[in-house]
Amino acid sequence: MVICFLIHTVCPVSALSAAESRILYARVFGPGTGDRGPETGDADFTPEQRRLMQKEKLHVVARQVRSAVALSREASGGLCVEAVLGEEAAALGEADSGMFSLGNAELFPDRSVVLWLGVLSLVFSLVCRPHENLLLAEGALRNIARHCLEELRLLGPGAEMLLKSDRVDALLHRLLPHGQLLFLNRRFAFALDKEIASYVSK
């Protein structure tokens, strides 16, 4: 089960604020998102408090991913640069990637694993349960990132990225339904690609 999916920046992007990092899209799956404390129940928090707590947890994940990306790029000598439209395939092929573990109940009820894929100024992150097939999760993350970049042109102007959340929702509904990782054979993957392309072209 995937706990959440994020798209966020790792360096300033044109048409966005000058902040170091910004969450552009976030989707949390399932009811168990760790809002309850060790000795208190959900009844102790208002819906607004739970929303703010969840938002802060997602920002903590984004900050930890940003640090991991920065360390990876520093070690490899990579630079954070922006791309132009049409370079999506090349950018994805040169993407940084990695994973790290979040401690038990650090942010979510159980220990979880964060997988990230850094494509120039953007990062795509999945937070998964530790028992998940991580190779399958990595493949799903790359597939989602590929569709976001190629179909939705997320390497375009930042203002456009913020207006495409409904389309990212539609992609996740097909590629990560209810947070479940899918085993895709070539025939099913091809049919899914055609369905997504048809939807995006509307």
Mind listing the pLDDT tens digit for each residue in 174-186?
A: 889 999 998 877 8
Instruction: Specify the pLDDT at position 83.
Output: 55
CA distances from 167 to 16, 23, 42, 85, 201 (A): 20, 16, 31, 18, 11
Answer yes or no: CATH 3.40.50.300 is held by domain 2-201.
no
Angstrom distance (rounded) from CA 10 to CA 7:
10
- Domain assignments of the chain as residue spans, ordered by start: 2-201
pTM here is 0.81
pLDDT average, residue stretch 32-53? 62
Q: Pick 40 or 175 by higher pLDDT.
A: 175
Using an 8 Å Cβ cutoff, are 172 and 5 in contact?
yes
